[in-house]
Structure 1
Amino acid sequence: MFDAEGHLLVWNKRYLEIFGLAADQLWVGMFQRQILETLVALGRYAPGFTVDNLSEGTRISLVQGQATSILRELADGRTVSATHRAMSGGGWVATFEDVTERRRNEERITYMARHDALTDLPNRVALHEIGATLLAQLGPGQILAVLCLDLDRFKPVNDGFGYAMGDTLLQCVAQRLQRHVPRRATVARMGGDEFVVLHPVETLADAEALARRLITAVSAPYDIDGSRLEIGMSVGIALSGDGDVAALLQNADLALHQSKSDGRGTSRVFEAQMDARARARLTLERELRDALTNGQFEVFYQPLVDLGSNDIVGLEALARWRHPERGLVSPAVFIPIAEETGLIVPLGEWVLRQACRDAARWPGHVRVAVNVSPHQLRQRTFATMVVSALAENAVDPRRLELEITESVLLEETDANLKTLHALRASGVRIAMDDFGTGYSSISYLRSFPFDKIKIDRSFVREIGEKPEAAAIIRAIIGLGQSLNMTTLVEGIETEGQRKAVLAEGADEMQGYLFSHPCPARDIDALFDGAHPRTEAA
């Protein structure tokens, strides 16, 4: 604590410990600048920190009139957070905290959010960032080639040898791709057995030559654990023009599908006439509109389970489309179309209202969780709609949990903040879904009123097999606990995974180990202890 003239008044033992000072190196009345001179002279701060810039940091913090944390690196590699709070009578209180471990955990989580856990390649999020940078840096006469790569005959490996062998094969493919691409190229994994290569080229022929080289490299036999495996690869190519990275990826994907249709093991370049898929998409959009009008949607529910008691504490509401001819249409097919066309707004409202109607029939301690899209949150009447749905069904707002992803938070508008705060003030719980898979999950935890973190299933797959997987889970759970947020782990499919996340301190789980998503009519069976009848999800 310092007085208005900057004289030291009070300090504690922890301050001495953080900076490695002896008790006689500080005294009452010592100027703050003298303390900084002592610390710099002793080499406590990392190179680059001077008495002047340290003093200036304190001055700016106090002038701003609010407590602001400043991160400062120490010479021994530790990171200290310094917070300065002005006192009403003059002077200020300086608080120092060693945040080294927390910062390392945050950096690791951020890294994992941008890299594929299996291959350590950049993931979809990082790919868009890298692609945008490459487009901006293209030199005269250069174009950006985007190659979408999809493995042929990979599924038989998974089915015949097991997922562990399949994972090892994917790692080997990733290594081969990295060895055979040019130095400036970027290899990323989009998920499953799909990869993408970004590379600045001068001609289409350069891109086609690269595609042939990669097909040859990946198609060579693999010897893994005594088994000889042979796969192939198909490639779709798109070249930069007027579109952005997303458009290039879409075009390359269309070309990839044409390549597979032509017999696999080849490459195809995107052409404007490759619009069959687009026409099919328009058909699906029309049918989606009809489905909303004709009541073809229903809500399936997947239990959220308390890891300690194994009791159902909530149910996530999931939209399912029962097409009169196609049967159950995968959400992976219709949700993106609903998002792009704005149909997600009426669909999302229908799901939320139906979830409230169903919740009214179920035990009062069971919550319902409903996903919210960015389009929904942008509606000025969204909060009013939520409150009315609860009131119409006499459902306690505390039983409703709204799940949002970082795509909602990227806008970070005052309107979004106001809506979230208003809903939370009414009793509704707010959860961050798919934590760690987006742009900067950690920063949002301090900006938005979250009650729960849902840890994405991608972090769970290797838990119990690789120590670093458990370390990531542990870091996220610790972050949630420090912020007083419930942590739920998605994608629990084995008893080993359940025990592992329970040991790490997670609160809840969700996954096939307990139940697949099932129709509302089967939920009563779950409460009665019977095995649920699940349908294709």
Structure 2
Amino acid sequence: MMIDSYGKRILVCDDEASVIDSYRRILSDLVAPTTPPVLGELDALAADLFGDEPSTVNSAAVINDITYCRQGNEAVSVFEAAKRQGRPFSAVFLDVRMPPGIDGIETAKQLRALDPAINIVVVTGYSDHRPSEIAGIVGAQDRLFYLVKPFNADEVRQMATTLVHRWSTDQQTANELAERLVQLEQTNHALRESQAYAHQAARHDPLTGLLNRKGLEEEYSAALKDAKESGRLIYVAYADLDRFKQVNDGHGHIVGDQYIREFANRLVGATGTDGFVARVGGDEFMVVFAAETGPEPMLERLLRVGENHFIEAGVRLPVNFSVGYCSCASGMPLSEAMRRADVALYSAKSAGRGVGRAYDELLDAEILHSQSLARDLRSAIAADTLDLHYQPLMSADGRRVTGVEALLRWTHSQQGSISPALFVPIAEENNLMGELGDWVLRRAFADMQCWPGLVTSINISTMQFSRPDFADHVIEMAGAAGVPSDLIEFEITETALSDNMVQFANQVEKLVRAGFRLALDDFGSGYAGIGYLNRLQFSKLKIDRSFVSGLRIKPNADRMIRSIVGMGEAMGLTVTAEGVEEQFQHDLLQAAGCDQMQGFLFHKPCSAEEVLKLLDRQREAERAA
């Protein structure tokens, strides 16, 4: 098959005229038609560099045309125009430092966004950036290469020739795959008209091609029989993607379907010939495998499936999932094996997700207890028997209440007070966060009308933000309650920022436009950066309590706090310190410049009635003064 000749093109970008001239001299004889290089030698070179198998493509590795640019912005424009005209480049050579415009790293990032498959050669005489840092910014490490200035002419020629050849080979492979896809579609069309296809379709999932439940039942029975004859044990592992709904809601079902297909392919690859994989739900998969020495090696292979991000059409998402598994005695029904693996999966999710857990009979009791609590929590929400307590936020001197934070409390009729650390995860696992979050908003909106002019802070979970219309829903609720949006502050933890950033930012932007305040909770716990603070228009950051508690035992804690306060002041943010429990902490935090204090040193969380009494005492003291 003929390769599009326009593909053998190279783009060179360097701000120094002398370097551009060097490229011209080095590559000039490759541009004019020359005797094609020996195919075997060229393929061997490509195999050494990229791990490709020797190719039988009879294509001369020469360059049709080279375009030179002096600035990164110019290179991006030329590259985009060429792609739009159907004359793409095979490879790009980029200098790192190109003042006064964007540097080579940013240029590479923009080019990668335009064409994820482009081969990029980063050329530099400095050590400003390590290759791992550049790869993290630009992406597609297998198509990212490096040359050090002053470069060797043979290296440049070899790199240019090989990359052009590889690009051409990739194009031919893509065309061949497209032809094969057409042939496959024709074959599938014929199969649809046959009884054999009907049987196949009845046993397989149409999206992934994996076994469905019916196919799983048949293969499971056969696996049990084979295991009995061979003396090996059969295991069933239940793999469930974490928060897959957010992928569909945030990026659409096309990306969601590709995400599922990619995950399925990875599971199949990890399982190999030791078992088989079935899709039993939207984001749920079963892996049945035999093992002679225990399930640990297979479990390790399965968990490694999540090490690499899913990347598709510019979307980059983590692949987070949990696994529960059990051994299957001879004759164990599939339904019981799946139940046990599901129980173990629940334990894995409770342990923090991204882990594997084995079934244990004791887990049955834990599941029953958790399910019982979930039922009771649902009833408590419906019966309005939950409570909101409020912890005052104090001025820097600790004398005046400047706001309150709403904190959810549940007193069970039989088990007494239950910690939010226990019942909130149960709400998340049982799809109760929407109802629970709405209850908190309604109660907080009602209570805050008793202290007009005082800002009320409300914690919002990641799962609430995953609801596509969450911002509109909150705006509607606040309007119906008649509370001013500028006195409502939503606290969001740093961990929430690590999920669906695009959808998250859209929701936040709506809330900020409507007048709501935004506070970044637990700042310093490891996720957010200054870019988040600017982009999401936070008005406050709350220093993670670990810094405050570490003031006595960590020598650098006070310096870290001063740095955070300084950054907050520079960005015009209110800075609040949480977990203030001792006077010396208050003194240090006040000296560091914190605007607000919160902690047991001043007030513990209390009922709305106690808040009113506290405010009355404050007003009396102010009048007396």
Question: What TM-score results when the alignment is normalised by the length of structure 2?
Answer: 0.45
Change (3 A) 1:317 1:441: same
Aligned partners of 2:128 and 2:431: how far apart in 1? Answer: 53
Change (3 A) 1:317 1:327: same
Q: CA deviation at 1:273?
A: 2.7
- Counterpart of 2:405 in structure 1: which amino acid? E
Aligned partners of 1:73 and 1:298: how far apart in 2? Answer: 64
Residues 62-461 of structure 1 mapped to structure 2, 5 A cutoff: 240=300, 242=302, 247=322, 270-275=358-363, 276-308=365-397, 310-364=399-453, 366-461=454-549
Task: Give yes or no for contact 1:406–1:441 (8 Å, CA) kept in 2.
Answer: no
What fraction of aligned residue pairs are identical, expressed as a percent?
A: 34
Q: Choose 462-471 or 352-361, whichever is displaced more.
A: 462-471
Deviation per CA, 1:471-522: give whole Å up to 9, x if none: 1111222221222111111111111111111111111111111111111121
Q: Choose 402-411 or 347-356, whichever is displaced more.
A: 402-411
Change (3 A) 1:289 1:500: same
Q: Secondary structure at the match of 2:549?
A: coil
Aligned partners of 1:140 and 1:488: how far apart in 2? Answer: 50
Change (3 A) 1:246 1:502: farther
Q: CA deviation at 1:240?
A: 4.0
Match for residue 97 of structure 2?
A: 54
Aligned partners of 1:392 and 1:448: how far apart in 2? Answer: 26
Aligned partners of 1:354 and 1:506: how far apart in 2? Answer: 30
- Counterpart of 1:53 in structure 2: which amino acid? V
- Counterpart of 1:369 in structure 2: which amino acid? S
Q: CA deviation at 1:55?
A: 1.7
Aligned partners of 1:482 and 1:409: how far apart in 2? Answer: 22
Question: What TM-score results when the alignment is normalised by the length of structure 1?
Answer: 0.51
- Counterpart of 1:462 in structure 2: which amino acid? G
Deviation per CA, 1:172-230: give whole Å up to 9, x if none: xxxxxxxxxxxxxxxxxxxxxxxxxxxxxx977999xxxxxxxxxxxxxxxxxxxxxxx
**For 2:610, which of 522, 525, 529 is the aligned residue?**
522
Deviation per CA, 1:147-172: give whole Å up to 9, x if none: xxxxxxxxxxxxxxxxxxxxxxxxxx
- Counterpart of 2:561 in structure 1: which amino acid? I
- Does structure 1 residue 500 correspond to structure 2 residue 543? no
Task: Give yes or no for contact 1:383–1:422 (8 Å, CA) kept in 2.
Answer: yes
Deviation per CA, 1:212-261: give whole Å up to 9, x if none: xxxxxxxxxxxxxxxxxxxxxxxxxx964756787479969969x9xxxx
- Counterpart of 1:282 in structure 2: which amino acid? Q
Match for residue 122 of structure 1?
A: none
Change (3 A) 1:204 1:386: same
Greater Rg, structure 1 or structure 2?
2
Task: Give yes or no for contact 2:524–2:543 (8 Å, CA) kept in 1.
Answer: yes
Task: Give yes or no for contact 2:576–2:595 (8 Å, CA) kept in 1.
Answer: yes
Aligned partners of 1:73 and 1:509: how far apart in 2? Answer: 50
Q: Which has the higher helix share?
A: 2
- Counterpart of 2:550 in structure 1: which amino acid? E
Q: CA deviation at 1:319?
A: 1.2
Match for residue 194 of structure 2?
A: none
Q: CA deviation at 1:282?
A: 1.4
- Does structure 1 residue 476 correspond to structure 2 residue 564? yes
Aligned partners of 1:278 and 1:340: how far apart in 2? Answer: 12
Aligned partners of 1:239 and 1:55: how far apart in 2? Answer: 49
Q: Secondary structure at the match of 2:617?
A: coil
Change (3 A) 1:374 1:252: closer
Aligned partners of 1:405 and 1:355: how far apart in 2? Answer: 19
Q: CA deviation at 1:140?
A: 12
Residues 16-55 of structure 1 mapped to structure 2, 5 A cutoff: 52-55=95-98
Q: CA deviation at 1:75?
A: 9.4
Task: Give yes or no for contact 2:271–2:302 (8 Å, CA) kept in 1.
Answer: no
Aligned partners of 2:346 and 2:563: how far apart in 1? Answer: 36
Task: Give yes or no for contact 1:431–1:452 (8 Å, CA) kept in 2.
Answer: yes
- Does structure 1 residue 485 correspond to structure 2 residue 528? no
Task: Give yes or no for contact 1:296–1:323 (8 Å, CA) kept in 2.
Answer: no
Q: Secondary structure at the match of 1:467?
A: coil
- Counterpart of 1:325 in structure 2: which amino acid? Q
Aligned partners of 1:206 and 1:418: how far apart in 2? Answer: 42
Change (3 A) 1:242 1:525: same
**Root-mean-square deviation over aligned CA pairs:** 4.2
Change (3 A) 1:387 1:59: closer
- Counterpart of 1:417 in structure 2: which amino acid? A
Total equivalences in the alignment: 318
Task: Give yes or no for contact 2:398–2:602 (8 Å, CA) kept in 1.
Answer: no
Change (3 A) 1:74 1:521: farther
Change (3 A) 1:356 1:204: same
Q: Secondary structure at the match of 1:524?
A: helix
Match for residue 23 of structure 1?
A: none
Task: Give yes or no for contact 1:454–1:488 (8 Å, CA) kept in 2.
Answer: yes
Task: Give yes or no for contact 1:464–1:500 (8 Å, CA) kept in 2.
Answer: no
Task: Give yes or no for contact 1:433–1:453 (8 Å, CA) kept in 2.
Answer: yes
Unaligned runs of 5+ in 2: 1-14, 17-69, 72-93, 111-123, 130-265, 273-291, 307-319, 325-342, 351-356, 619-625
Aligned partners of 1:378 and 1:524: how far apart in 2? Answer: 34
Aligned partners of 2:516 and 2:524: how far apart in 1? Answer: 23
Larger relative contact order (CA 8 Å, sep ≥ 6): 1
